[in-house]
Structure 1
Amino acid sequence: MIIQAIRSLIFYAFFFSLTAVLAIPFGIYSLFGPKMSGWWVVKFWYVANLFLLRWIVGIKTEITGQENLPDGPFIIASKHMSDWDIFALLAATNGRPTFIAKKELLDIPFFGWCMQNFHTISIDRKNGQSALPQMVKQGKAAVERGCRIVIYPEGTRRAPLDEPRYKWGLAKMYVAQNVPVVPVAVTSGLYWPRNSLILWPGTARAKYMKPIPAGLSMEEFHQTIQERIEPETTKMLMQDIEQGIARPITPALQARIDAHRA
């Protein structure tokens, strides 16, 4: 564990340094340059981080189902377990990404300016229910610009095999935007646990599933997206666990594993 902790600290040192080196000049550029420009900077950032994860801490990346990505704008709805999910999904945005992020992130100097360059949809949680109509409005504008919106339906990172807590924001955006939604299952939480400074070697996986076409009711879509993401995520997590993982299994995780085995 000590060796892996050292490897993790080395990764974080490279990660934050690389982010700062790129964010400062690109952030300044974003204040004055055209929007949706500088994709090569974003691509270099996520490719470099995936490289660092692979060769410093031993987290490989495996992404399948790219054939399910439709043409044009659509919504990517992904299970969210770690920051790896951000790096891994950027390639599917085809150079026109729009993430949904809390307002505090966009207020960060330089880094937040970079996010604004790509029309990141800002959510001010302090506004309560009034934040949702604003999210839908910004999402509609992003779709009209041909962007691919990345959203995490539960609104935050969830531990592997934890009970799902899907919010209604995605369903309301789905109805308003009239575009397909691509469900995504991930296993990254087994290797980059939330609230943990130690990263563990293994193969983090993401799977793009067949898109859900536009036209469903809000209630039907809300149910359908969970029925697509949750079973596939559980299946993939249990496959990795049964094959053996380097991460120590906490009592809480063991309890969830036992429940699913039963």
Structure 2
Amino acid sequence: MILAAFRSLLYTLLQLIITPPYAIFTLACYPLPPHYRYQVTYGWTRIMLFLLRVICGLRYRVIGAENIPDRPSIILSKHQSAWETLALQQIFPPQVWVLKKELLRIPFFGWGLAMTNPIAIDRSSGKAALQQIVEQGRDRLQQNFWIVIFPEGTRVSPGQTVKYRIGGAWLAVHTGALVVPVAHNAGEFWGKNSFIKYAGTITVSIGKPIDPAGMEPGELNERVQAWIESEVARISRFGKTKPVGQFGSITNEPIEDTEK
């Protein structure tokens, strides 16, 4: 625990030192086309993942990489930690996120995030937000960007489930883009709102792409949630999840960690 705390402190200090000047450099790249700007901001992500690996001992492995389609798609991912907001950029092609517009106001981090051409929504606006997701989502897909959505809407601690928001499924049905479900157990190493980052190997599992043709958004959303939650239970070190709300618990045999 003491060693993990020291490593986490060192990582955080380096992040605080690196982020402000990198954000300023990123802002200077505003005149560049979106894909070039993305490559600049992705450079910061690579640095953070490198520091997590060499300082905190936090690695990852991917299973199901062969399921990644050869065209821009919609990634619907489990959200347990801050880790996946970094790692998904390294695992998948250039991408934009659907996110709360409030995040863009965070000094330095939010400024850099705004340079990635995100779909920033007001979640309280209901149908207007869904319309914005479809309009801007179609535009980003045409620009050859993938779209990342965390359907839980917020980070959810390991062992718990919540009802998935329908925005990602709605976008898929209205654009015809494939849906790629992603499960992982990052929260078991870097917990929700946690300062401590424990050494180990996170497992990321990529499911087979789902064609939304002929499906209703609710049906697609339920199918995605069923796969992600059962897969999270399978790869979890603890082998089970506990429900929050209406969903029943899922149990399965745990999978052992292996170093990448």
Query: Which runs of 5 or more structure 2 residues have no equivalent in the other structure?
Result: 240-248, 253-260
8 Å contact kept, 2:41–2:115: no
Q: Relative to structure 2, which stretch is displaced further, 205-214 or 106-115?
A: 106-115
* Aligned position for 2:258: none
Deviations 1:71-107 (A, max 9, x none): 111001110111110111112442x311111111223
Which structure has greater helix proportion?
1
Q: What is the alpha-carbon distance in structure 2 between the residues aligned to residue 119 and residue 73 of structure 1? A: 15
Question: How much has 1:259 moved relative to structure 2?
Answer: 8.1
Q: What is the alpha-carbon distance in structure 2 between the residues aligned to residue 47 and residue 146 of structure 1? A: 21
Percent identity for Structure 1 against Structure 2: 37
8 Å contact kept, 1:75–1:181: yes
Q: What is the alpha-carbon distance in structure 2 between the residues aligned to residue 61 and residue 16 of structure 1? A: 24
What secondary structure, in the 3-state scheme, does the structure 1 residue paired with 2:34 have?
A: coil
Query: Which runs of 5 or more structure 1 residues have no equivalent in the other structure?
Result: 243-257
| Cα distance change of structure 1 residues 116 and 241 upon mapping to structure 2, 3 Å threshold | same
Q: TM-score, normalised by structure 1?
A: 0.85
Aligned residues: 244
What secondary structure, in the 3-state scheme, does the structure 1 residue paired with 2:229 have?
A: helix
Q: What amino acid does structure 1 have at the position aligned with 2:12?
A: Y
Whether 1:222 and 2:221 are equivalent positions in the alignment is: yes
Give the RMSD, CA atoms, in angstroms.
Answer: 2.3
What secondary structure, in the 3-state scheme, does the structure 1 residue paired with 2:144 have?
A: coil
* Aligned position for 2:244: none
* Aligned position for 2:255: none
* Aligned position for 2:257: none
Q: What is the alpha-carbon distance in structure 1 between the residues aligned to residue 216 and residue 120 of structure 2? A: 25
What secondary structure, in the 3-state scheme, does the structure 2 residue paired with 1:170 have?
A: helix
Q: TM-score, normalised by structure 2?
A: 0.85
Q: What amino acid does structure 2 have at the position aligned with 1:152?
A: F
What are the within-5 Å matches in structure 2 for residues 108-147 of structure 1?
A: 108-147=106-145
* Aligned position for 1:204: 202
Q: What is the alpha-carbon distance in structure 2 between the residues aligned to residue 11 and residue 235 of structure 1? A: 30
What are the within-5 Å matches in structure 2 for residues 38-57 of structure 1?
A: 38-57=37-56
Q: What is the alpha-carbon distance in structure 1 between the residues aligned to residue 138 and residue 152 of structure 2? A: 20
Q: What is the alpha-carbon distance in structure 2 between the residues aligned to residue 206 and residue 221 of structure 1? A: 21
Q: What amino acid does structure 2 have at the position aligned with 1:51?
A: F
What secondary structure, in the 3-state scheme, does the structure 1 residue paired with 2:28 have?
A: helix
Q: What amino acid does structure 2 have at the position aligned with 1:154?
A: E
| Cα distance change of structure 1 residues 119 and 40 upon mapping to structure 2, 3 Å threshold | closer
8 Å contact kept, 1:36–1:119: no
Whether 1:182 and 2:180 are equivalent positions in the alignment is: yes
Q: What is the alpha-carbon distance in structure 2 between the residues aligned to residue 35 and residue 93 of structure 1? A: 17
Question: How much has 1:131 moved relative to structure 2?
Answer: 2.1
Q: List structure 1 segments (4+ residues) > 6 angstroms apart after TM superposition.
A: none
8 Å contact kept, 1:191–1:202: yes
Deviations 1:41-80 (A, max 9, x none): 3333222212211221221121222211111110011101
